[in-house]
């Protein structure tokens, strides 16, 4: 086999249809993302059936455009990589079917990727040196997971949320405040004019050693503070622009406090000097500032995925090069794994 030098990566695990062409030196030659936010907005969250139907209509144009932008043809590709886990089953199947078809027709290796690992690999893509071993935090709409990563492809799950993911808490709290979906960027935007100390939201497990998260309490607390307690005799004050800003800033500060504390605890408990952060919530400006502070105060090396690689994309499928180097290609009968695999791999 010739030395592979460019590959196509496909992502369709949730509600973004994405394709990217990446070379062996991790240069992203093109990255195309078709978002479905508008389709899901009125439901306040992703509707799986709508997502898979939209993937079906988007997948081929997105792949086409990624190739065109990279100025390469299908025949130039050395491998086809695709996220096969975790995610929505119908959504994952669309990307996998496209990838299998291309691999079969072009007679090129197929590489099955873990979306979560890819989120963290986005950190390695901007780093000068090897960041691993490291603690990895993937904080997105579907996951809030801490990993002990001995290498870029070997991850032990060491902590996760017992209920909502952090991004989900952002999305649900934004909906309570009447802000659009996905709520994270909107909360972050209005929080800039708010007082983070105006309200005291819960910081669940922050003082405990256990590496676990819980964000359903803060969501309920947001509901009661913003809209009032069920059966309460007193109406809450009206949701003015300033109150929404203060609630957003206070909520964001509480979530960030917890995420920072758990990164630090995980690094201490596992004796790691490097921490990598990826996933949609890693795009949060306040979180990024606080992570910089953590690096300065603790001496832990903190690497945050670049902004354009935080939310779902296919460029982070560059992790496929690591798997190809290890000879880890997939058979054409590989299936999707919608649930999170809770062991090393």
Site stretch for Zn ion (CB under 5 A), options 35-43, 169-177, 283-291, 311-319: 311-319
Q: Which two tokens stand for residue 263?
A: 């990164």
One residue of 9, 99, 244, 283 binding ligand KG4 per CB under 6 A: 283
Q: Where are the beta strands (DSSP E) in the chain?
A: 6-11, 16-23, 28-35, 79-85, 110-114, 134-139, 144-151, 154-161, 212-213, 274-278, 301-304
Question: Residue 66 or residue 305: which is nearer to ligand KG4 going by CB?
Answer: 305
Distance CA 163, CA 213 (A): 8
Bridge partners (DSSP) of residue 157 are 147
Instruction: Please choose which of ligand KG4, Zn ion, none residue 251 contacts, taking the beta carbon within 5 to 8 angstroms, the exact cut-off set by kind.
Output: none
x/- contact string, 114-143, with ligand KG4 (CB under 6 A)? --------------------------xxx-
Q: Which of residues 252-281 bind ligand KG4 (CB under 6 A)?
A: 279-281
Give the whole-angstrom CA distance, residue 168 versus residue 215: 9
145 vs 204, beta carbon nearer ligand KG4? 145
Residue 11 binding Zn ion, by CB under 5 A: no
- Say which entry of ligand KG4, Zn ion, none residue 20 contacts (CB below 5 to 8 A, set by partner kind): none
Burial class (CB in 10 A: 0-12, 13-18, 19+), 49: exposed
From residue 160 to residue 199, the character string flagging contacts with ligand KG4 as x (rule: CB under 6 A) and all else as - is -------x--xx----------xxxx--x-----------
Scan for tokens 């790691």, then name that residue.
272
Least Å from the CB of residue 140 to Zn ion = 4
Beta carbon of residue 181, minimum distance to ligand KG4 (angstroms, whole number): 8
Quick one: tokens of 232? 């309460």
**Among positions 103, 312, 317, 319, the unique one binding Zn ion when judged by CB under 5 A:** 312
> With contacts defined by CB under 5 A, how many residues of the chain interact with Zn ion?
2
- State the number of CA atoms in the 13 A half-sphere of 286 facing the CB: 24
Contacts to Zn ion from residues 121-140, by CB under 5 A = 140
Closest Cα to residue 80, out of 326, 337, 339, 324?
324
Chain residues that interact with Zn ion, rule: CB under 5 A? 140, 312
């Amino acid at each position: 086999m010739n030395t592979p030098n460019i590959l196509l990566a496909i992502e369709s695990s949730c509600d973004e249809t994405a394709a990217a062409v990446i070379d062996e030196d991790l240069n992203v030659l093109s990255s195309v993302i078709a978002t479905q936010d508008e389709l899901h907005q009125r439901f306040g969250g992703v509707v799986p059936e709508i997502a898979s139907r939209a993937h079906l209509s988007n997948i081929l144009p997105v792949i086409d455009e990624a190739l065109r932008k990279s100025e390469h043809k299908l025949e130039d590709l050395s491998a086809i990589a695709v996220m096969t886990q975790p995610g929505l089953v119908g959504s994952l199947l669309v990307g996998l079917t496209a990838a299998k078809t291309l691999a079969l027709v072009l007679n090129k290796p197929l590489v099955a990727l873990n979306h979560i690992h890819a989120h963290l690999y986005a950190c390695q893509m901007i780093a000068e040196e090897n960041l691993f071993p490291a603690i990895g935090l993937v904080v997105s709409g579907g996951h809030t997971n801490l990993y002990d990563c001995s290498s870029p492809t070997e991850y032990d799950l060491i902590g996760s949320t017992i209920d909502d993911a952090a991004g989900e808490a952002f999305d649900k709290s934004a909906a309570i405040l009447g802000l659009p979906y996905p709520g994270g960027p909107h909360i972050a935007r209005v929080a800039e004019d708010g007082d983070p100390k105006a309200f005291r939201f819960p910081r669940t497990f922050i003082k405990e050693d256990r590496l676990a998260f819980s964000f359903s309490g803060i969501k309920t607390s947001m509901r009661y503070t913003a809209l009032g307690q069920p059966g309460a005799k007193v109406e809450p004050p009206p949701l003015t622009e300033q109150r929404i800003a203060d609630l957003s800033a206070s909520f964001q500060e509480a979530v960030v406090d917890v995420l920072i504390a758990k990164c630090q605890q995980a690094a201490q408990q596992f004796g790691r000097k490097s921490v990598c952060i990826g996933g949609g919530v890693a795009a949060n400006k306040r979180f990024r500032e606080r992570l910089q502070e953590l690096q300065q105060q603790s001496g832990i090396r903190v690497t945050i995925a670049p902004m354009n690689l935080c939310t779902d994309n296919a460029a982070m499928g560059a992790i496929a090069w690591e798997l190809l180097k290890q000879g880890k290609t997939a058979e054409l009968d590989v299936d999707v794994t919608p649930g999170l695999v809770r062991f090393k791999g």
